[in-house]
Amino acid sequence: METVTAQEKSDKSSQQSAKKTQFNVNKTSCSDRVNSLLRYLLVKTVDLLLFLVLFLFVLAPLTVKLFPGMGKHFIYLNGLSLPSYFQDLSNPASFGLNSTKNFYLSTDKNVVIGAWHTLPKQLEGDGYKHEEYESLLARTKHPILLYCHGNAFTRSTSHRVALYKLLASLGFHVISFDYRGYGDSSGTPTFEDGLVTDAVTLYLWLREKAGPDVPMYVWGHSLGTGIATKAVRFLTEQRKEYPKALFLESPFNNIFDAAMLHPFSKIFGLLWWFDDLFLDAMHTYGIYLQNDVHILHIELPVLIMHAEDDHVIPIELGLKLYNASKTRPKSFPPVIFHKFSKERGFQHKYIYSAQELPNILGNFLKGIN
């Protein structure tokens, strides 16, 4: 048997004590680091909260008062777009539109807008050159549809391109464009009348090229419903020019109600300065987009389409517009409201994917012709 001396026992005991001490030191050091991290996170969280309070209750309202024009950027969102490096709007084929010509049109002083002309699908295989597209507006007698897009991004956005393709398959010449300050169009969107001028000028240019007998239609989506509705009112009242019909996809009754019910407003709407952000912009730049007023003066058939699960412009605003239209003179053509159930999942911008949409449009057009 091995004999353990007293010295060996003492050394072993010392080693165990040292290990225990080292463990306690490490445990204390780890605990200190955790406490230090928690204190750091607490300080940073307090700093962030203080900054948010300072921003929301001091800096933001002060900025709104000093720069009332800021509100228009929240309405138009024209700055929200991919840099030109990533998209070549002069080449529609790069967005999947092969029978489409890019062109530019001067609509106002120092304003040139970019636009696309997509041929009816029935003409795709005929080998027409871009130089012939203008003459085809009159020669082929296919109807022409002017599309006014919503805020943010450009005429190349995927859901817009998908709708062009659908409308072209139904036999329309589809003319899409970017308002001033959007995409590759020059100028800046300020007063709503500037954007309306872009739409009106393009429409009249198309009428000049097509001649008086080719049927023309106007389609507006989201913010574009405000542009389209006011443009059509101007055309009918001031120029005695009557499109065959007006299509309104995901419309609102007026821009203020649309802004107040926007998801962004649900977050910041309780702040006292938030209303001023839009009210100041509306009064400063005349941005009212009162569809519920203009529709009363448009002696045209109107088709309103809205999805129940639209969270950007709730269907209740589309219904308010529809109800307002019921006060139009009895002699005016009908306003039709078509609702898409929330189970379909079309939300704000996917109505184009409804399989029954061609039939909806076809039945509407049959009813007015």
Mean pLDDT confidence for 218-237? 98
Q: What is the pLDDT of residue 164?
A: 98
Q: Assign 53 a pLDDT band (cuts: 50, 70, 90).
A: confident
Residue 198 among the catalytic residues:
no
Q: Which residue has the higher pLDDT, 274 or 19?
A: 274
237-263 burial, b at 16+ Cβ within 10 Å, e below that, comes to eeeebebbbbbbbbbbbbbbbbbebbe
Q: How far apart are CA 228 and CA 3, in angstroms?
A: 103
| Side-chain-facing half-sphere of 310: CA atoms under 13 Å | 27
Residue 142 among the catalytic residues:
no
Q: What is the pLDDT of residue 26?
A: 57
Q: 61-70, 162-171, 186-195 — which is least confidently predicted?
A: 61-70
Q: Which residue has the higher pLDDT, 366 or 256?
A: 366
Q: Kindly tell me if the per-residue pLDDT of 22 is higher than 60.
A: no
Q: Which amino acid makes up residue 321?
A: L
For residue range 263-300, list pLDDT tens digits in order.
766 666 666 666 766 677 777 788 899 999 999 999 99
Q: Which amino acid makes up residue 226?
A: G
Q: What is the pLDDT of residue 60?
A: 66
Q: What is the pLDDT of residue 51?
A: 82
337: burial class by Cβ within 10 Å (0-12, 13-18, 19+)? middle
Q: Assign 21 a pLDDT band (cuts: 50, 70, 90).
A: low
Q: Assign 167 a pLDDT band (cuts: 50, 70, 90).
A: very high
Sign of the C-alpha dihedral, residues 67, 72, 78, 80? positive
Q: Assign 125 a pLDDT band (cuts: 50, 70, 90).
A: confident
Q: How far apart are CA 240 and CA 71, in angstroms?
A: 34
Q: Assign 48 a pLDDT band (cuts: 50, 70, 90).
A: confident
Q: Is there a contact between 294 and 229 (Cβ–Cβ < 8 Å)?
A: yes
Q: Assign 14 a pLDDT band (cuts: 50, 70, 90).
A: low
**Inter-axis angle of helices 223-238 and 192-210, nearest 10:** 60
Q: What is the pLDDT of residue 261?
A: 84
217 φ, ψ to 5°?
-130, 160
Q: What is the pLDDT of residue 82?
A: 74
- The set of residues, in sequence order, having a beta carbon less than 8 Å from that of 25 and lying 6+ positions away, is none
Q: 148-152, 233-237, 259-263, 303-307 — which is least confidently predicted?
A: 259-263
Q: 31-40, 72-81, 205-214, 259-268 — which is least confidently predicted?
A: 259-268
Q: 3-17, 151-165, 238-252 — which is least confidently predicted?
A: 3-17
Mean pLDDT confidence for 67-78? 77
Q: Kindly tell me if the per-residue pLDDT of 130 is higher than 80.
A: yes
**Inter-axis angle of helices 357-368 and 158-169, nearest 10:** 50
Average pLDDT, the chain: 88
Q: How far apart are CA 116 and CA 183, in angstroms?
A: 12
Q: Assign 75 a pLDDT band (cuts: 50, 70, 90).
A: confident
Catalytic residue among 117, 142, 173, 348: 348
Catalytic residue among 173, 185, 310, 338: 310
- How many Cβ atoms sit within 10 Å of the Cβ of residue 320? 18
Q: What is the pLDDT of residue 316?
A: 98
Catalytic residue among 99, 156, 176, 222: 222
Torsion of CA 52, 53, 55, 59, to 10 degrees: -170
Mean pLDDT confidence for 199-212? 97
Q: What is the pLDDT of residue 138?
A: 95
For residue range 79-89, list pLDDT tens digits in order.
888 776 678 99
Q: What is the pLDDT of residue 4?
A: 52
SS3 string, the chain, reads CCCCCHHHHHHHHHHHHHHHHHHHHHHHHHHHHHHHHHHHHHHHHHHHHHHHHHHHHHHHHHHHHHCCCHHHHHHHCCCCCCCHHHCCCCCHHHHCCCCEEEEEEEEECCEEEEEEEECCHHHHHHCCCHHHHHHHHHHCCCCEEEEECCCCCCCCCHHHHHHHHHHHHCCCEEEEECCCCCCCCCCCCCCHHHHHHHHHHHHHHHHHHHCCCCCEEEEEECHHHHHHHHHHHHHHHHCCCCCCEEEEECCCCCHHHHHHCCHHHHHHCCCCCHHHHHHHHHHHHCCCCCHHHHHHHCCCCEEEEEECCCCCCCHHHHHHHHHHHCCCCCCCCCEEEEEECHHHCCCCCCHHHCCCHHHHHHHHHHHHC
42 φ, ψ to 5°?
-65, -45
Residue 222 among the catalytic residues:
yes
Q: Kindly tell me if the per-residue pLDDT of 365 is higher than 90.
A: yes
Q: Kindly tell me if the per-residue pLDDT of 104 is higher than 60.
A: yes
pTM for the model: 0.83
Q: What is the pLDDT of residue 31?
A: 76
What is the Cα 148 distance to its own chain's centre?
11
